Amino acid sequence: MPPAKKRTRSYDPAKTRAAVLAQYAHVREAVRTLAPEQLELPTRLGDWTVRELVVHIALAVETVPRYLAAPEPAAPEVALLEWPFATASRAGEIADGTSEFAAAAGRQDLDALYADVGARVEAALPQASAARLVPTRFGAMALADFLVTRTVELCVHTDDLNAAVPGLDVPYDRQALAACTRLLADALAVKAPGGSVEVRIPPYAVVQCVEGPRHTRGTPPNVVETDPLTWLRLATGRTGWAEALDTAKTTASGERADLAVLLPLMS
């Protein structure tokens, strides 16, 4: 796991809570429209169908009230900027848990599942301090930080859902997408510390990374620019570096501006 740099970015806990609830509501509204045949469509996530993806999204948010109901850990164990790199070690466990739950649920009423999870989250969050530690599968972390990770889960899997179901077009809450983009951008700076390359993801993030001469004024000699959705696809391996360049979704200028060896950040 790459060492975490000193955290320099802060997230407003109230805005993050609202963002998680808003993005979850967007997904729930979309799930209500899905026909049985659409739930059986394949996704880009291995053997998962849309049904399994939808169940996984609900389970990713259900962890909030579940962890809050557990005893509070004695001390933090995982920093926010360590989380993106910790997920790979648990990918198989997460996938197996989702598939087992979806299979056991059979033709479960997905809207009822989403309603139950949403109600539990809305009941638990107002009572919880942002500093309260929660026992995540990756180690204890502050609730405020854990909620930022939920924006990543929600936005990345909203994109997966949109890719799997033609015409679904689930919208993105602006604050959720901003938090997701910023965390993954900061994770790149942790993985490749330095100041020779400027990565721009307007309108949400700009970070410097990669060892080499640090840019101080004028136009940076090495610049990468992309949009938020392409960035989250690059960061999670949904899109390859060469594909993003070939389709003009990403531009890169300068001899150090090749990020292929650094991506994906999460898998």
Looking at the domain assignment, is residue 4 inside a domain? no
- What CA–CA distance (Å, rounded) separates 200 from 206? 5
Proportion of the chain above pLDDT 90, given as a percent = 82
Examine the fold and report which residue of 177, 202, 225 is the final residue of a domain before the chain moves on: 177
What integer pLDDT is reported at residue 104 of this predicted model? Answer: 52
Q: pLDDT tens digits, residue range 156-187?
A: 999 999 999 999 999 999 999 999 999 999 99
Q: pLDDT tens digits, residue range 21-34?
A: 999 999 999 999 99
What integer pLDDT is reported at residue 6 of this predicted model? Answer: 45
- What CA–CA distance (Å, rounded) separates 50 from 45? 9
Proportion of the chain above pLDDT 70, given as a percent = 87
Q: pLDDT tens digits, residue range 196-254?
A: 999 999 999 999 999 987 656 666 789 999 999 999 999 999 999 999 999 999 999 99
Which tokens belong to 98?
Answer: 């989702």
Placement of tokens 């360590």 in the chain? 82
Q: Are residues 104 and 234 in the same domain?
A: no
Residues contacting 239, CB < 8 A, separation 6+: 230, 233, 249
| pLDDT value at 75 more than 50 | yes
User: What's the total number of domains in the chain?
Assistant: 2
Q: Are residues 147 and 84 in the same domain?
A: yes
- What CA–CA distance (Å, rounded) separates 267 from 255? 27
Q: Are residues 99 and 27 in the same domain?
A: yes
What integer pLDDT is reported at residue 220 of this predicted model? Answer: 77
The parent domain of residue 201 ranges over 192-262
What integer pLDDT is reported at residue 213 of this predicted model? Answer: 72
